[in-house]
Structure 1
């Protein structure tokens, strides 16, 4: 890999679902997209599917050492980051009384610690005009049954961003959150396990527009927040959920 004059976008957790849709949208805008994930074979498949110039780098966002190695490679090969999309995350649903320490740790290590060190590690490679987009969730305000820990991680991220927007004052770097509602991804189905069909029916019924979202719809919002069209948008959590969190 060599340096390029094209703008560089980094999307964590970019090999599938919402992350992949965001990576594909940014690629169509002419950006060189770097997607990250823990599984090399999944990254390789995603890179082949992406339009434009893309690369896949393995990284585990729950490990600061892994992120440090990732950013060292990005710095050496690409020079800087113009857009960072901190998307990698996971949800493990369990009602109160069945929450395990292991599932608690996995979610906070990925969804909170992972965001902290993903964003912090990227800053030395970002200059004025760069943009950070964090993928949150409407669970930050409306977690629903069995989603208390996942919702708590997303509420934590919302408050991290509220502080960071002040920390970044004077740098020229913008930071925003896009918070999807229920979105048609395999990870959503996996989170509900054997109750997936019942859960999807409930979420569809709850939606004011009568359906859940598609990854491409979330990608459009993320791409807007990352773009110069949103140059005066900073420090917000933008909900993309068809109005479901308002009901």
Structure 2
């Protein structure tokens, strides 16, 4: 018996990186998976790697009306939700003195406001006994250069999770947080790390991480699978750091 047979899982930011790895892991364990991404081509490519029963939805999580359309589509196809992974996020890394109002707002709109309203809207469609997983970052608790706004946007969702874990106890809906350290995903290129710069970057990360390397998306996905499945049926309100020990340094 697969761990997620008969379950319906929604993964925002499910078209690449950690989100895609989660969607693939969930589908492999029998879940009907719905991924959300901003670009049709990226969503289509991701669906091809997940499996024939996966559903894609194109939209920006920062657009709160998108969540209503998404949930209506999920309900029409699957009836309800069992697992909701609020994974979509964005990072603009810069010194605090350089932060503009626009850059501040876009990070909080995507990383914080979208998570709050995405989850609270999804709860109306979630079966009792479901699982909510929020993707945060070890940056919320570990001071890292040029991360002030990003870190603040992630720290807020950890507070949401603690509150929701108690608010939803009567429904047996568990709410937990995944906090990655550096992970080898396409976001590195978006942050300006070129292929030529990768050897030096990888070396610096290996020196900063006790286990000596960056994480891989499938390693985060296995942690998400644990939190999504009945393997973690007695776990709620936790912040699971998947960082090779980096938060300790």
- 1:216 aligned residue: 218
Residue deviations 1:128-170 (CA, integer Å, cap 9, x gap): 2111111111111014001111111111111111111121120
How far off its partner does 1:64 sit? 1.1
Separation of aligned partners in 2, 1:52 and 1:135: 26
Separation of aligned partners in 1, 2:103 and 2:205: 23
Separation of aligned partners in 2, 1:104 and 1:173: 32
- 1:242 aligned residue: 244
Separation of aligned partners in 2, 1:143 and 1:160: 21
Separation of aligned partners in 2, 1:184 and 1:32: 26
Does structure 2 conserve the Cα–Cα contact (< 8 Å) formed by 1:192 and 1:199?
A: no
Separation of aligned partners in 2, 1:187 and 1:214: 13
Does structure 1 conserve the Cα–Cα contact (< 8 Å) formed by 2:39 and 2:58?
A: yes
Separation of aligned partners in 2, 1:179 and 1:196: 25
Query: Structure 2: which 5+ residue stretches go unaligned?
Result: none
Residue deviations 1:9-51 (CA, integer Å, cap 9, x gap): 1100000000000000000001111101111111011101113
- 1:66 aligned residue: 66
Query: Structure 1: which 5+ residue stretches go unaligned?
Result: none
- 1:226 aligned residue: 228
Does structure 2 conserve the Cα–Cα contact (< 8 Å) formed by 1:127 and 1:172?
A: no
How far off its partner does 1:60 sit? 1.4
Give the secondary structure class of the aligned counterpart of 2:175: strand
1:15 aligns with 2:15: yes
Give the secondary structure class of the aligned counterpart of 1:213: coil
- 2:204 aligned residue: 202
Separation of aligned partners in 2, 1:78 and 1:171: 20
How far off its partner does 1:196 sit? 5.7
Residue deviations 1:44-79 (CA, integer Å, cap 9, x gap): 111011135211011211111111111111112210
Q: TM-score, normalised by structure 1?
A: 0.94
- 1:119 aligned residue: 119
Separation of aligned partners in 2, 1:118 and 1:50: 23
Give the secondary structure class of the aligned counterpart of 1:130: strand
Separation of aligned partners in 1, 2:147 and 2:245: 19
Separation of aligned partners in 1, 2:40 and 2:221: 23
Give the secondary structure class of the aligned counterpart of 1:120: helix
How far off its partner does 1:192 sit? 4.3
C-alpha root-mean-square deviation of aligned residues, in Å?
1.6
Separation of aligned partners in 2, 1:137 and 1:61: 18
Moved more, 213-222 or 68-77: 68-77
Q: TM-score, normalised by structure 2?
A: 0.93
Separation of aligned partners in 2, 1:214 and 1:231: 25
Does structure 2 conserve the Cα–Cα contact (< 8 Å) formed by 1:17 and 1:215?
A: yes
The count of residues paired between Structure 1 and Structure 2 equals 243
- 1:101 aligned residue: 101
Separation of aligned partners in 1, 2:55 and 2:36: 9
